[in-house]
Amino acid sequence: MELTLPAHPGFYMEFQKNVSLKNYTTFKIGGMAKYFFKVRTKEDLIKAVNTAKKLKLPFFVLGGGSNLLVSDKGYDGIAIKIKNEKLKIKNKNKKFKNIYCEAGVLLGEIVDLAIQNNLTGLEWAIGIPGTVGGAVFGNAGAFQKSMKDIVKEVEVLDAKDLRFKIYDFKKCKFGYRNSVFKRKKNLIILSVVFKLKKEKKSEIKKKIKKCLNYKKERQPLDYPSAGSIFKNPSGFSAGELGEESKLSSSPFAAARQGEEDESSSSTIAAAWLIEKCGLKGKIIGQAKISEKHANFIVNLGNARAKDVKKLINLIKKEVKKKFGVLLDEEIQFL
């Protein structure tokens, strides 16, 4: 079916056909989207969703593409790229400030704004390449912190009835790398209000430096990737993992050092499990399990989604075989 968009004043949505999605993901992998929209306003978003309904096509909302693996075959639907990018301080008092942030704002921008205004709570997000909308969608986190610690409310468009709705913190139903928005794909995040606490800039910069140093030392930042592939499993004791885990507390300690935002004494680092299976450095095609961090799969140049999936399946098989633990993917598939 041919797609014809109306042209009239106020219609700002950018529309393209057969767009390579690999250029919109941090993995730099993936085929073509049949249709591609860039939306900057609420009106744009409604028109994009209505277009999908009219054509009876699925749609996918794309943020920064930092937690996503796109199929080599592409996407036979409408990819909606969120590009609303307003960011401002809403109120000021001695202890807290509310920051209004639209979904298309890069995490780095709001981290910079927080530093400039002596606000703490976002230091853990330094260096994460995603957008605010995507981070709230997946309750992104690190260093025992996550989005759920700072979100006050979220504005969404409900694609079912095309109504705008406000979700307070309780309605967001945040969990480990999860939220109501991830479970109910009809809820499209438009903007977020964060509540951040005042702190001395010198203390904020210390936290920022610590987080950056940790990532530089332990994460493969020189290659395209989607970040951590698997969630860190929980609910296990050292004894249940066999003799390997008794050699050191590392599988549990590592999970509390930048991988997991709701860590406990029973949380295991997925990277430790993968490493102990001897899978570091394993290559299929141009996809490789990082030697620096085993929970990262990196693109050596021209990796394909099918090669990444083969490595994912290999990891799950070997970890299950050795430890009896079934890993659950953190990344999204399209």
DSSP state of 175: B
Of 41, 33, 77, 47, nearest to 59 by C-alpha is 77
Beta strands 68-69 and 145-146, pairing class: unpaired
Residue 228 is among the residues annotated as catalytic for this protein: yes
How far apart, in Å, are the Cα atoms of 4 and each of 38, 55, 123, 125, 181? 16, 11, 45, 40, 30
Residue pair 239/249 in contact (Cβ under 8 Å)? The answer is: no
Phi-psi label, residue 185: left if phi above 0, alpha if psi -120 to 50, beta otherwise: alpha
Active site residue: 66, 179, 191, 228, which one? 228
Contact 228, 296 (CB under 8 A): yes
What is residue 226's three-state secondary structure? strand
Maximum pairwise Cα distance, the chain: 69
Q: Which of 33, 39, 123 shows the shortest CA–CA distance to 81?
A: 39
The three-class DSSP label of residue 137 is helix
Whether 330 sits among the annotated catalytic residues: the reply is yes
Q: What is the C-alpha to C-alpha distance for residues 111 and 114, in angstroms, rounded to an integer?
A: 5
Helix (H) or strand (E) holding 310: helix 305-323
Catalytic residue among 123, 146, 177, 275: 177
Q: Please indicate whether residue 183 is annotated as part of the active site.
A: no
> Active-site residues: which are they?
177, 228, 330
